[in-house]
């Protein structure tokens, strides 16, 4: 509790392989940059980015158990792909082990993988930074980085499109909030004349 930012970073780093820590550093840098560019709080973006994948390398059963022990977290994520579970688990860890109380930061962590229907500016920025941090490499990542130069919403739609296509190819189900997130972003883009 009440650790300095450096102590928090050490604690998170200790829970993952070096490669995932480098990803976390990339998300921090990118999220702060996007926050400044698109009008979110850079300190909140930094905090959410540090913690967003803290549980990624926990055994999946421990991730699921952590979610089950906290009924206020969205239990329905456990009915979908296990890749989603590290996000709600990280909220419990951020709050209970590292003393994070800011609901905006906790929500940005919670929805960093799935997105949600009415994404806040902070949600969008953390989710997009996770897609485009400099270490990321997947088909279309260059295109999404280009779009991120002028529209956070359009870039996120492109990110969700690639994730949804990937899930379809694998024959997997899609968590409904991802579909709602994409629909919501498309409506926002339309209403601002994009
Ligand atoms: O934890 P990271 O690897 O940094 O990235 P992430 O938290 O965005 O996790 C992405 C993975 O989650 C990606 O491989 C796709 C998978 N996934 C499984 N089901 C869903 C999903 N992603 C979304 N957005 N929606 C799903 O329903
Ligand atoms: Fe993640
Ligand atoms: Fe990540």
Distance 2 CA to ligand 1 centre (A): 30
Q: Is residue 178 part of a domain?
A: no
In this structure, the residue with its CA closest to atom 23 of ligand 1 is: 114
Q: Is residue 141 part of a domain?
A: no
- Give whole-number Cα distances, 45 to 121, 142, 179, 189, 193, in Å: 10, 22, 24, 22, 27
Distance 36 CA to ligand 1 centre (A): 25
Is 144's pLDDT higher than 60? yes
Q: Is residue 167 part of a domain?
A: no
pLDDT tens-digit map of 2-47 = 579 999 999 999 999 999 999 999 999 999 999 999 999 999 999 9
First to last CA, the chain: 44
Quickly count: other Cβ atoms within 10 Å of residue 168's Cβ. 11
Q: Is residue 45 part of a domain?
A: yes
Q: Is residue 156 part of a domain?
A: no
Q: What is the pLDDT of residue 177?
A: 98
Total domains in the chain come to 1
pLDDT tens-digit map of 87-115 = 999 999 999 999 999 999 999 999 999 99
Q: What is the pLDDT of residue 143?
A: 98
Q: Is residue 192 part of a domain?
A: no
CATH of the domain at 112: 1.10.3210.10
Is 60's pLDDT higher than 60? yes
Atom of ligand 1 nearest to the CA of 87: 7
In this structure, the residue with its CA closest to atom 11 of ligand 1 is: 83
> Distance between CA atoms of 101 and 91, rounded to whole angstroms?
10
> Distance between CA atoms of 3 and 55, rounded to whole angstroms?
19
Residue numbers of the domain that contains 11: 5-136
**Test site for ligand 1: of 113, 160, 172, most ligand atoms within 8 A of the Cβ:** 113
Task: Report whether 109 contacts 12 (CB < 8 A).
Answer: no
> Distance between CA atoms of 176 and 160, rounded to whole angstroms?
12
Among residues 186, 191, 166, 187, the alpha carbon closest in space to that of 113 is found at 166
In this structure, the residue with its CA closest to atom 8 of ligand 1 is: 113
Q: Is residue 30 part of a domain?
A: yes
Is 48's pLDDT higher than 90? yes
Q: Is residue 110 part of a domain?
A: yes
Atom of ligand 1 nearest to the CA of 175: 27
């Amino acid at each position: 509790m009440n650790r300095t930012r450096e102590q928090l970073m050490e604690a998170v780093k200790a829970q993952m392989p070096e490669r995932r820590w480098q990803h976390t550093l990339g998300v921090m840098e990118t999220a702060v940059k996007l926050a400044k560019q698109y009008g979110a709080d850079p300190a909140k973006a930094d905090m959410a980015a540090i913690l967003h994948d803290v549980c990624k390398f926990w055994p999946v059963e421990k991730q699921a158990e952590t979610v089950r022990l906290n009924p206020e977290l969205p239990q329905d994520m456990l009915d979908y792909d296990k890749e989603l579970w590290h996000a709600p688990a990280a909220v419990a860890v951020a709050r209970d082990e590292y003393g994070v109380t800011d609901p905006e930061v906790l929500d940005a962590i919670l929805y960093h993988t799935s997105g949600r229907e009415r994404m806040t500016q902070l949600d969008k920025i953390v989710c997009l930074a996770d897609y485009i941090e400099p270490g990321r490499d997947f088909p279309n990542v260059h295109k999404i980085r280009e779009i991120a130069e002028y529209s956070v919403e359009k870039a996120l739609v492109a990110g969700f499109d690639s994730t949804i296509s990937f899930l379809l190819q694998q024959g997997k189900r899609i968590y409904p909030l991802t579909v709602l997130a994409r629909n919501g972003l498309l409506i926002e883009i339309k209403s601002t004349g994009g």
